[in-house]
Amino acid sequence: MSGRRHLSLTGATALVLAITGGLMGPATAQASLAHSATAHGATAHGATAHGASDPARRTLPAGDGWGSAGTGTSGGAAAVASRVFTVTTWEEFRAALAVPGTEPRIVRVKGTLNATAAGCSAFEAPGYDFSRYLADYDPAVWGLDTVVSGPQEDLRAASAKAQGEAIKAYVPANTTVIGVGRNAGIVGGSVQIQGVDNVVIRNLTVESPLDCFPQWDPTDGATGAWNSEYDSMVVYGSTHVWIDHNTFTDGAHPDSSLPRYYGEVYQQHDGELDIVRGADLVTASWNVFADHDKTLMIGNSDSAGATDRGRLRVTLHHNLFRNVIERAPRVRFGQVDAYNNHFVVPATGYAYSLGIGQESQLVAEKNAFSVPAGVGVGAILKKWKDAPVTTVGNLVNGRPVDLLAVHNAEFPGEVLRDGAGWTPTLRGRVDNPRAVPGLVDHRAGAGRLR
């Protein structure tokens, strides 16, 4: 036996508060985590037990998308015993991620971690009153030509800041975060992979965080709009990231359940996955993105060329996009390879799947689209800016369709150019698109690791 121990944070609430509250130094915190694990029944595992058969020690296979380029993506696969943690609460999760050092670590998530268990009232700044907010900024009172300001907007912003600080968890370099079993996940949290290298996220059901304090912007569109924060997961300026076998969902709070104020949807969701601000070399495989509006954005600004040009290289394969309204993905700048994905298009509210944006170079090959009657196939592609795109070997309802030709015929005012200008070489298995719905629908998502 190697003497490796399985570390658990379960029951270490006081320790977690001490760490997150800054009451003990980094060295003391790490030692205390190890001591707590042993005290709570840590068990020993041999080195071979953590080999290829342990999903937490899986690395991204060579040649499997952009994430495998260069040094590849291994996350925390090589973690020693003192840097393997099992967490059962949101506080424990953040504490495990905060342990100092960039040596490999594994964080095993057991059960569902709730980042907003105490409810929205826990984040409210004293004096904030939503009823007062609605009265103060009613368009009939405030108008539609000036951004809101004043005491209630200041208190809303302070409340939003408190929520953001509480629900964001920052994943450090050389880390694997993995759900244990079939029912592990995060509710109400925003997983931030920011400015680091070599991260693996697997086997989690991630329910979109619900913004408790959306901002009213009367100047957004002709009639104003509510704008929300907090993506479920953000890859920001990071490299070598593998996002695999996760399920992204709105869970108990679909957009259809949200109220309306000032005649507009009180939008409390942002994106499910954003890959932005110079992020690079990412593989997202065998995930489910379900029942969401603005789903997956690669590049978040047309003016970010200085950071994004030559980066944002992302591979999307064997993912299920089910009842997604738009951004599956929307791309700016990046060389994005999307193959063997299944897109189940919703019957109502559909905008588009593949968004062609500023200087993007999207290759969409051998995907399967299930499109209901009454939805135009040309809408699968959306032109945001003039950029080339490659669409080859895709099926719609089981039949070959030239997506580009159909789009250009249906939208002659938004003609897209053929030929992304590059040929993907980093691919693992490439399936016949006729097999994709059966494969992806039954194997993608959390709880289905093999």
Task: Give the active site residues.
Answer: 327
Q: Is 139 exposed, middle or buried (0-12, 13-18, 19+ CB in 10 A)?
A: middle
Query: Residue 297 has which token pair?
Result: 């954005």
Which residues are bridge partners to 389 per DSSP?
A: 362, 418
Nearest one of 227, 216, 221 to 147, comparing CA atoms: 216
Which residues are bridge partners to 215 per DSSP?
A: 227
Residue 449 Cα to chain centre, angstroms? 18
**Helix H segments across 203-342?**
305-308
Which residues are bridge partners to 391 per DSSP?
A: 364
Which residues are bridge partners to 396 per DSSP?
A: 369, 399
- Give the C-alpha separation, 11 to 34, whole Å: 13
Query: Residue 436 has which token pair?
Result: 């994709």
Q: Is 167 exposed, middle or buried (0-12, 13-18, 19+ CB in 10 A)?
A: buried
Amino acid found at 1: M
Bond before 329 cis per omega within 30 degrees? yes
Q: Are strands 388-392 and 395-396 parallel, antiparallel or unpaired?
A: unpaired
